[in-house]
Amino acid sequence: MKFLISFSLAVLSFVALHAQEKVVPIKYGDMEQWVTRRIHESGIIGGNTKLLYELGPTQEIDGNVAYVNQGGSPWANSNVMAKVMGIVKTNTSVYPEKREEGGYCVRLETHIEKVKVLGLINITVLASGSMFLGDMKEPITGTKDGEKALNMGVPFTSRPKAVRYDYKVEMSGEPDRIRQTGFSRKETVPGQDCAIMTCLLQKRTEDKDGNIIAKRIGTAAVKYSRSEGWKNGVTYEIMYGDITGDSRYVPDLMKLGVGHYYARNKKGESVLIQETGWADAGEQPTHLILQFTSSLGGAFVGSPGNKLWVDNVSLVY
């Protein structure tokens, strides 16, 4: 009898807890709508028409037009049009993909991108697939300081309990990563590659010089280091306040300044977000950063062949 009573109470508690949940999908986070861009690369490198994909209202855009987020979409990704020394080149590392059970997801992939014009330009770059809340400024004009084209994060004032999504992972199997920036030699970077998710709640201010100063309010991050089939509705708690004393704190994923993210200030200038400290756990954020990427280590670092699939991205309250 005691067992039955305890079991019944546990079931009721579980039901009550989940009945109180409020799950709020992030706009376009179901991956069902995509903008398809048709970019015409320069004739000197073959003149091919390449497809770039963006999360937003279903449509096609034909022409070498700098992209801005469509239909109120909060998402940007690493698919970009570049114009270097007058040559138009693209990179595609983010793709819509059909799921077996129906609908679409997104596939983020790490690969090598090359462009070679005899006597003019010879670039080999490692590009990882990345999808994030924010926007991208096009065209990219070089491989140096390319992260400054990213405007990372969106205005956000809520306090969710967790981030939830479906995912699948395929690892390259390589024991180390490589760094390939475009003009330098390929270098070996010790350590196995991982796919990662990073969710940060920040309280940002801007000083008189246009610097963006942030305090960290909420943190959730995870890395995937082995291949896995689809996991649906996986939930990661957002931890609030100073979490350095928490057993779940992982410095290389959660430390202040992680990601070296850039954002645009009120003058429209791209500046590094300076995370200067941990906010009190009860403070209200001003911005949300949420990023998925197929490789760990920053720009131009990773293992070709790494893949991360993501679907149904939501916040849980």
Tens-digit pLDDT profile for residues 189-220:
999 999 999 999 999 999 999 999 999 999 99
- pLDDT band of residue 20 (cuts 50, 70, 90) is confident
Kindly report which listed range (76-85, 228-237, 287-296) carries the lowest average pLDDT score.
76-85
Instruction: Specify the pLDDT at position 16.
Output: 46
Distance, C-alpha 204 to centroid of its chain: 20
Instruction: Specify the pLDDT at position 237.
Output: 98
Burial (CB < 10 A; 0-12, 13-18, 19+), residue 1, is exposed
Confirm whether 275 is domain-assigned: yes
Q: Are 313 and 29 in contact (CB under 8 A)?
A: yes
Kindly report which listed range (39-43, 115-119, 170-174) carries the lowest average pLDDT score.
115-119
H or E element that contains 3: helix 2-19
- Helix and strand element counts for the chain (H, E): 2, 27
- pLDDT band of residue 120 (cuts 50, 70, 90) is low
Confirm whether 11 is domain-assigned: no
The percentage of the chain sitting over the pLDDT mark of 70, rounded to a whole number, equals 91
Instruction: Specify the pLDDT at position 143.
Output: 66
Range of the domain at 49: 23-316
pLDDT tens figures, 122-144: 778 899 999 999 999 999 987 66
Domain containing 132 — which CATH number?
2.60.120
- pLDDT band of residue 11 (cuts 50, 70, 90) is low
Look-up of token digits 């645009």: 264
Confirm whether 161 is domain-assigned: yes
Confirm whether 309 is domain-assigned: yes
Confirm whether 50 is domain-assigned: yes
Alpha carbon distance 200, 290 (integer Å)? 7
Rg (CA), the chain: 21
- pLDDT band of residue 59 (cuts 50, 70, 90) is very high
- pLDDT band of residue 17 (cuts 50, 70, 90) is very low
The percentage of the chain sitting over the pLDDT mark of 90, rounded to a whole number, equals 81
Picking from 251, 314, 308, 274, the residue whose alpha carbon sits closest to that of residue 77 is 308
Confirm whether 183 is domain-assigned: yes
pLDDT tens figures, 163-190: 999 999 999 999 999 998 876 788 999 9
Higher pLDDT pick, 216 / 17:
216
Instruction: Specify the pLDDT at position 90.
Output: 94
Q: What angle do CA 47, 49, 50 make, to 5 degrees?
A: 125
Confirm whether 82 is domain-assigned: yes
Query: Is residue 298 pLDDT above 90, yes or no?
Result: no
Mean pLDDT of the chain: 92
Average pLDDT over residues 252-259: 97
Confirm whether 184 is domain-assigned: yes
Q: How many domains does the chain have?
A: 1
Higher pLDDT pick, 197 / 116:
197
For 23-50, give one letter per residue: b (16+ CB within 10 A) or e: eeebbbbbbebbbebebebbeebeeeeb
Average pLDDT over residues 150-173: 97
Query: Is residue 271 pLDDT above 90, yes or no?
Result: yes
